[in-house]
């Protein structure tokens, strides 16, 4: 069971990291190229869909990395990779209420001044790169955890 949970950790973190990289490198630059009003219309329609596509993998990464950490702790194995993976994925999740919830709501509800949209997109991009970096680090740490597991 522990091996399956570890593999689920890698899968969830890798899918989330891949999605985050796609958003950071492709989607966000297209935001900056849009007219602010056009962007707000786009985000109202597709922003929630984008978030709900990645959210289960974010939560899954937190849950499975945490479970792998507890399993390693219980088995007396190296917990460091799983502690790092868990912390990184928890960081991606914590950013939702700390920044993205407010920013996304302002875009979706169009409560942001149109003149401030591009500045907020730049801020959103910076925070998205933080999430991307954390998720990539989680993949590396989870991979380390899987490879570091003693064979039986």
Q: Summarize pLDDT for 91-109 with one digit per residue, the tens.
A: 999 999 999 999 999 999 9
Confidence of residue 150 (pLDDT cuts 50, 70, 90): low
On average, the pLDDT of the chain sits at: 95
Average pLDDT, stretch 109-120?
97
Write out pLDDT tens, residues 40-49.
999 999 999 9
In 3D, which of 20, 19, 39 has the Cα closest to residue 114? Answer: 39
CA 38/CA 23 separation, integer angstroms: 18
Q: Is the pLDDT of residue 1 over 70?
A: no
**What residues does each domain of the chain span?**
2-148
pLDDT of 82 reads 97
Band (pLDDT 50/70/90 cuts) for residue 149 is confident
pLDDT attached to residue 152: 58
Identify the CA nearest to 2 among candidates 149, 113, 117, 123: 149
Q: Which residues of 96-125 are buried (b: 16+ CB within 10 A; e: fewer)?
A: eeebbeebbebbbeeebeeeebeebbeebb
Residue 17 has pLDDT above 70, yes or no: yes
Tokens matching residue 129: 């790169």
3-state secondary structure of 141: helix
Structure tokens at 73: 């702790």
Give residue 117's pLDDT. 97
Task: Classify residue 35 by its DSSP letter.
Answer: -
Which of the four pLDDT bands, split at 50, 70 and 90, describes residue 151? low
Mean pLDDT of the region 104-126: 97
């Amino acid at each position: 069971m522990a091996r399956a949970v570890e593999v689920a950790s890698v899968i969830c973190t890798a899918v989330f990291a891949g999605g985050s990289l796609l958003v950071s490198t492709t989607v966000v630059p297209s935001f900056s190229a849009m007219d602010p009003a056009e962007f707000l219309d786009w985000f109202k329609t597709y922003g929630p869909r984008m978030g709900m596509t990645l959210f289960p993998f974010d939560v899954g990464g937190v849950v499975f990395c945490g479970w792998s950490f507890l399993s390693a702790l219980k088995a007396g194995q190296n917990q460091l990779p799983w502690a790092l993976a868990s912390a990184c994925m928890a960081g991606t999740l914590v950013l939702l209420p700390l920044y993205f919830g407010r920013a996304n709501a302002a875009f979706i509800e169009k409560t942001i001044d149109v003149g401030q949209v591009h500045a907020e997109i730049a801020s959103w991009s910076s925070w998205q790169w933080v999430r991307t970096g954390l998720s990539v680090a989680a993949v590396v740490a989870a991979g380390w955890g899987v490879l570091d597991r003693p064979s039986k």
